[in-house]
C-alpha cells in the first residue's frame, strides 16, 4: 500500500481480512493443531510469535481454534494478558506516539476492557519515562473508586478521594481520579496539577464532556488539561456533536468524532470471545392522556405513536400507577427466573428515568419476586456501595436511574427493562452494554432487554449489531433526522399541559433478534419445534430457533431495509448451522476436559459412530451430534 513502509507493515499485529481467508483455506477450514472444525471467532496465529519478531505474513501464519491458541499462549489472551483488540490498539497507540497532538480516541464496546487497555498504556508510559503522573476523569463518583481498584491490581496507585480543596496530589499516589463536574468547578486547580508533572490524562466516556450547564464543561477541560503531554480518550459508543465541539476530539465533515481505534459491539460479537448476543422483546400497549383542562382523552398504541405522541404515550406507559409497566416487570421477572435455573446468580436491571419512578418500580418488583429490591440513585452517597453489593451478590433485581447505564461493571446482568424516557442511540447502546459482557467460555446466556415498542427504539435494536463503519456509511440526512427526533439532551421535557390518564397491560409486539423482527406467532412456533426436537437443541434459544425456521422458509419476518449491513440481516440456515457447530465444538471441549480424552479422538469416535463429519453434516445430523454429546456429558457427570 502506498505510503506504508515495509517495516511498519511487518509490525502489524493482526492479519487482515484477505490474509485470514488465505489461512482458513490453507487449513481446509480446520484447526492446524487439533484438526477441529474452525468456528466463527477462530484465530489467525503467528507461528513465530509477533512479540519475538515474527512477521504478520501468511507464510508465518496458521489458523487455530481458540482453545489451541490459548494453550499456545497467544491471541485472545497473549503474553501480556491482553485481548487481541487491546494489544492491537496498544500497538497502534505506541506507533502513533500517542496520536495527533497527544490525543488518541478509542471507541470500544462496553465490556470490551477499555479500562485495562488504558491502564496498560499508562503503565508502559511510566516505565518508559514518558510520563510522571496520571489523571483519570470519569462521569460519576462511583467510577472513581472502580478505576482506582483496577489500577491497584496493576500496581498503579490512584487517589479516588481527592477533593479540589486539597490543591495538590499526595506523593503517595501515581495519579488521581475525579469527575467531569469536579474539573468544571475548579479548572485552574487541575491545570496546575497537570502542568507540574508530565501527565497522561485519561478521559473515560469522553462524550460526557459535551454535558453540563451552558456547555461549560468542555471549556473547563480545555483549560485544565491543555498542559498534559498525553490525552487518552475513551468511549463506549461512536458519538457526534450537534452543539459545542468537545476538546481534544477531531471531527469529520458530518460532525462525528474521528476515532483512532474502533472495537464496537458488532466486531466484538463476530469475535465471539467478549460479548453475548442480545435479543429485545418489544412490548406494545395502549397509552391514554389528555391536555390539562380538557375532557377529551387521547388513546394510542405505543407502536402507532407518531413523533408528537411518543412523549406523552411513553410517559403514560412508564407510569407505575398504570398497567403497562407492572405487566412488563412481571414478564421480565419470569424470564430472569428461567435463566436463573441454569445460572443461579443471573441478575436483572431496570433503568428508570428518575428517582420517583425508580423507587416505585422497586416496590412493584419486590412484590413480584418476594425480595427487597435495591435502588441506586446518583444523588445518594451510598449508591456506589449499593451497586457493588449487588454486583458481588446473587439477589435478582436492582433498579437504577441513568447513572448505571455506563461504566458500571456487573457481569451477572442478563435481563433488563428499558424504562427510561431517554431516546438517544448513544444512551441505548450504553444500556445494552450492561448486559452483553461474556462471563467465560461456558457462558451460553443470551441477554434480554425489554423495550417499549416505539419506532425509534425498535430501530436501535435492529441496528445494535452494526459496526461503526456501517453506521458511517448511512446517509447523513437520516442520521440528522434521527437526532432531531430524539431531542437534544436525551430525555423528554414533557410539558405539564399533558395529564396521564392510564395504560393497558403490555402486549408482546415483537422480539428483535439479529436485526430480524420475530412476531409472537413466530416465537410460539419455534417454541413448539424446540420442544419437539428436545435435547439436541438444548443450547439454542427460542429466538435462534425462530431464525432457523425463518431461514428454512417456514415463515417470513419483517426485517430492516436492504441497505442494512450484511451481518445484520435475518440469519441464513448456513449461519445457524455454524452456530450449531460452535456449540458442538464447545461440547466436545467440555467432554474432553471431563474425561481427559483428546479432542481429536472424541471427534473421530463421533465421526465413526454417526457416519458423518461436522463439516459436511446436514442440519439434522448436527442436531443428532449435539444430542449425542449432551447425553455423553450427562452420563459422565452421574
Tell me whether residue 269 is in a domain. no
Q: Based on the fold, state whether residues 401 and 454 are members of the same structural domain.
A: yes
Q: Based on the fold, state whether residues 302 and 416 are members of the same structural domain.
A: yes
**DSSP classification of residue 238:** -
Average pLDDT of the segment spanning 601-612: 88
Tell me whether residue 77 is in a domain. no
The pLDDT of residue 488 is 37
Q: What is the pLDDT of residues 399-433, one digit of tens each?
A: 998 655 455 678 899 999 999 998 888 788 888 88
Assess whether pLDDT exceeds 50 at residue 43: yes
Q: What is the pLDDT of residues 288-308, one digit of tens each?
A: 998 877 788 899 999 998 888
Which of 159-163, 272-276, 585-589 is most confident?
A: 159-163
CA-closest candidate to residue 554, choices 522, 516, 578, 512: 522
d(CA 14, CA 486): 38
- Last residue in a domain, options 473, 498, 513: 513
Name the pLDDT band for 245 (thresholds 50, 70, 90): confident
Q: Record the cell numbers describing residue 172, joined without a space.
A: 503517595
Average pLDDT of the segment spanning 165-183: 89
Mean pLDDT of the chain: 79
CA-closest candidate to residue 626, choices 526, 516, 537: 537
For residue 512, give the 3-state DSSP assignment.
strand
Q: Based on the fold, state whether residues 369 and 416 are members of the same structural domain.
A: yes
The pLDDT of residue 3 is 37
Q: Can you say whether residue 101 is alpha, beta or left, with left for phi > 0 and alpha for psi between -120 and 50 degrees?
A: left
The pLDDT of residue 280 is 93
- Model confidence pTM above 0.85: no
Residues in CB range of 521: below 8 A, 6 or more apart: 555
Assess whether pLDDT exceeds 60 at residue 490: no
Q: Record the cell numbers describing residue 38, joined without a space.
A: 474452525
Q: What is the pLDDT of residues 520-540, one digit of tens each?
A: 888 888 888 777 766 545 556
> From the CA atom positions of the chain, what is the Rg in Å?
26
- Considering its fold, how many domains does the chain have in total? 4
Q: Based on the fold, state whether residues 429 and 552 are members of the same structural domain.
A: no
Query: Which of 183-197, 312-326, 588-602 comes out lowest in average pLDDT?
Result: 588-602
Assess whether pLDDT exceeds 60 at residue 174: yes
Tell me whether residue 629 is in a domain. yes
Percent of the chain with pLDDT over 70: 77
**501 and 288 in contact (C-beta within 8 Å)?**
yes
For residue 278, give the 3-state DSSP assignment.
strand
| CATH number of the CATH domain containing 128 | 3.40.50.300
Average pLDDT of the segment spanning 210-234: 81
Q: What are phi and psi of 225, to 5 degrees?
A: -115, 10
Name the pLDDT band for 194 (thresholds 50, 70, 90): very high
d(CA 193, CA 188): 9
Query: Which of 48-52, 81-85, 588-592 comes out lowest in average pLDDT?
Result: 48-52
Q: Mind giving me the DSSP string for 120-169?
A: HHHHHHHHTTS-SEEEEEESSHHHHHHHHHHHHTTT--EESS--GGG-S-
For residue 453, give the 3-state DSSP assignment.
coil
Tell me whether residue 50 is in a domain. yes
Higher pLDDT, 496 or 342: 342
Q: Based on the fold, state whether residues 54 and 109 are members of the same structural domain.
A: no
The pLDDT of residue 463 is 82
Q: Based on the fold, state whether residues 232 and 313 are members of the same structural domain.
A: no
Average pLDDT of the segment spanning 386-407: 81
What is the residue range of 420's domain? Answer: 275-513
Tell me whether residue 79 is in a domain. no
Element (H, E) at 201: strand 199-203
CA contacts within 13 A on the Cβ side of 523 = 18
Q: Based on the fold, state whether residues 533 and 508 are members of the same structural domain.
A: no
- Last residue in a domain, options 72, 104, 121: 72
HEC string of 396-446? Answer: CEEEECHHHHCCCCCCCEEEEEEECCCCCHHHHHHHHHCCCECCCCCCCCC
Residues in CB range of 502: below 8 A, 6 or more apart: 288, 316, 319, 321, 322, 323
Q: Based on the fold, state whether residues 27 and 90 are members of the same structural domain.
A: no
Tell me whether residue 270 is in a domain. no
Higher pLDDT, 501 or 477: 501
Q: Mind giving me the DSSP string for 526-562?
A: HHHHHHHHGGGGTTS-HHHHHHHHHHTTS---EE--T
Average pLDDT of the segment spanning 155-162: 90
Tell me whether residue 415 is in a domain. yes
Q: Based on the fold, state whether residues 220 and 92 are members of the same structural domain.
A: yes
Query: Which of 10-14, 244-248, 541-545, 550-554 comes out lowest in average pLDDT?
Result: 10-14
Higher pLDDT, 577 or 536: 577
CA contacts within 13 A on the Cβ side of 145 = 10
Q: Are strands 61-64 and 43-46 parallel, antiparallel or unpaired?
A: antiparallel
For residue 479, give the 3-state DSSP assignment.
helix
Q: Are strands 375-376 and 397-400 parallel, antiparallel or unpaired?
A: parallel
Higher pLDDT, 66 or 305: 305
d(CA 181, CA 211): 9
Query: Which of 37-51, 205-219, 427-441, 449-463 comes out lowest in average pLDDT?
Result: 205-219
d(CA 222, CA 210): 12
Higher pLDDT, 167 or 540: 167
d(CA 135, CA 190): 9
Tell me whether residue 268 is in a domain. no
Q: Based on the fold, state whether residues 488 and 387 are members of the same structural domain.
A: yes
The pLDDT of residue 77 is 39
| CATH number of the CATH domain containing 44 | 3.40.1800.10
d(CA 488, CA 430): 17
Q: Based on the fold, state whether residues 446 and 497 are members of the same structural domain.
A: yes
- Last residue in a domain, options 229, 263, 297: 263
The pLDDT of residue 193 is 93
**DSSP classification of residue 208:** G
Q: Mind giving me the DSSP string for 299-335?
A: EEEGGG--TTTHHHHHHHHT-TTSSHHHHHHHHHHHH
Q: Based on the fold, state whether residues 27 and 101 are members of the same structural domain.
A: no
Amino acid at each position: 500500500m502506498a505510503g506504508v513502509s515495509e517495516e511498519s507493515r511487518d509490525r502489524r499485529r493482526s492479519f487482515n481480512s484477505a490474509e485470514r481467508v488465505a489461512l482458513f483455506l490453507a487449513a481446509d477450514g480446520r484447526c492446524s493443531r487439533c484438526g477441529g472444525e474452525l468456528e466463527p471467532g477462530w484465530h489467525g496465529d503467528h507461528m513465530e510469535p509477533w512479540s519475538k519478531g515474527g512477521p504478520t505474513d501468511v507464510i508465518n501464519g496458521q489458523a487455530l481454534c481458540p482453545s489451541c491458541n490459548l494453550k499456545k499462549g497467544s491471541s485472545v489472551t497473549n503474553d501480556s494478558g491482553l485481548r487481541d483488540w487491546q494489544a492491537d490498539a496498544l500497538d497502534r497507540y505506541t506507533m502513533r506516539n500517542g496520536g495527533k497532538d497527544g490525543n488518541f480516541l478509542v471507541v470500544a464496546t462496553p465490556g470490551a476492557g477499555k479500562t485495562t487497555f488504558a491502564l496498560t498504556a499508562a503503565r508502559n508510559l511510566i516505565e518508559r519515562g514518558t510520563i510522571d503522573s496520571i489523571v483519570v476523569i470519569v462521569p460519576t463518583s462511583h467510577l472513581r473508586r472502580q478505576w482506582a481498584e483496577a489500577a491497584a491490581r496493576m500496581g498503579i496507585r490512584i487517589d479516588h478521594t481527592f477533593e479540589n480543596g486539597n490543591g495538590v496530589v499526595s506523593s503517595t499516589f501515581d495519579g488521581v481520579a475525579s469527575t467531569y463536574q469536579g474539573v468544571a468547578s475548579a479548572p485552574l486547580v487541575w491545570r496546575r496539577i497537570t502542568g507540574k508533572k508530565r501527565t497522561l490524562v485519561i478521559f473515560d466516556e469522553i462524550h460526557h464532556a459535551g454535558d453540563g450547564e451552558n456547555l461549560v464543561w468542555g471549556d473547563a477541560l480545555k483549560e485544565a488539561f491543555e498542559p498534559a503531554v498525553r490525552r487518552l480518550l475513551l468511549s463506549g459508543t461512536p458519538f457526534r456533536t450537534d452543539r459545542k465541539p468537545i476538546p481534544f476530539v477531531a471531527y469529520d465533515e458530518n460532525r462525528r468524532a474521528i476515532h483512532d481505534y474502533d472495537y464496537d459491539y458488532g466486531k466484538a460479537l463476530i469475535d465471539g470471545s467478549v460479548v453475548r448476543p442480545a435479543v429485545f422483546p418489544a412490548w406494545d400497549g395502549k397509552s391514554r392522556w389528555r391536555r390539562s383542562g380538557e375532557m377529551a382523552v387521547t388513546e394510542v398504541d405505543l407502536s402507532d405513536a407518531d413523533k408528537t405522541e411518543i412523549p406523552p404515550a411513553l410517559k403514560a406507559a412508564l407510569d407505575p400507577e398504570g398497567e403497562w409497566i407492572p405487566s412488563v416487570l412481571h414478564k421480565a421477572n419470569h424470564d430472569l427466573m428461567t435463566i436463573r435455573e441454569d445460572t443461579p446468580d443471573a441478575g436483572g436491571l431496570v433503568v428508570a428515568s428518575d428517582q420517583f419512578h425508580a423507587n416505585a418500580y422497586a416496590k412493584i418488583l419486590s412484590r413480584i419476586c418476594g425480595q427487597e429490591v435495591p435502588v441506586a440513585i446518583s444523588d445518594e452517597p451510598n449508591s456506589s456501595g449499593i451497586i457493588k453489593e449487588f454486583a458481588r451478590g446473587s439477589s435478582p433485581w436492582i433498579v437504577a436511574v441513568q447513572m448505571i447505564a455506563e461504566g458500571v461493571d456487573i457481569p451477572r446482568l442478563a435481563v433488563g427493562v428499558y424504562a427510561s424516557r431517554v431516546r438517544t442511540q448513544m444512551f441505548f447502546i450504553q444500556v445494552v452494554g450492561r448486559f452483553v459482557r461474556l462471563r467465560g467460555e461456558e457462558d451460553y446466556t443470551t441477554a434480554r432487554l425489554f423495550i417499549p415498542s416505539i419506532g425509534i427504539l425498535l430501530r436501535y435494536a435492529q441496528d445494535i449489531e452494526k459496526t461503526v463503519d456501517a453506521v458511517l456509511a448511512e446517509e447523513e440526512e437520516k442520521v440528522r433526522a434521527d437526532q432531531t427526533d430524539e431531542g437534544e439532551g436525551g430525555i423528554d421535557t414533557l410539558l405539564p399541559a399533558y395529564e396521564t390518564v392510564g395504560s393497558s397491560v403490555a402486549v408482546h409486539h415483537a422480539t428483535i433478534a439479529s436485526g430480524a423482527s420475530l412476531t409472537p406467532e413466530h416465537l410460539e412456533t419455534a417454541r413448539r419445534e424446540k420442544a419437539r426436537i428436545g435435547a439436541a437443541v438444548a443450547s439454542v434459544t427460542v429466538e435462534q430457533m425462530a431464525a432457523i425456521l425463518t431461514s428454512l422458509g417456514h415463515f417470513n419476518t419483517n426485517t430492516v431495509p436492504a441497505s442494512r449491513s450484511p451481518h445484520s440481516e435475518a440469519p441464513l440456515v448456513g449461519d445457524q448451522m455454524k452456530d450449531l457447530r460452535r456449540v458442538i465444538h464447545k461440547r466436545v471441549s467440555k467432554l474432553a476436559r471431563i474425561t481427559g480424552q483428546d479432542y481429536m479422538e472424541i471427534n473421530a469416535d463421533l465421526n465413526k459412530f454417526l457416519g458423518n463429519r461436522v463439516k459436511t453434516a446436514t442440519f439434522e445430523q448436527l442436531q443428532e451430534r449435539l444430542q449425542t454429546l449432551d447425553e455423553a456429558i450427562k452420563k459422565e457427570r452421574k
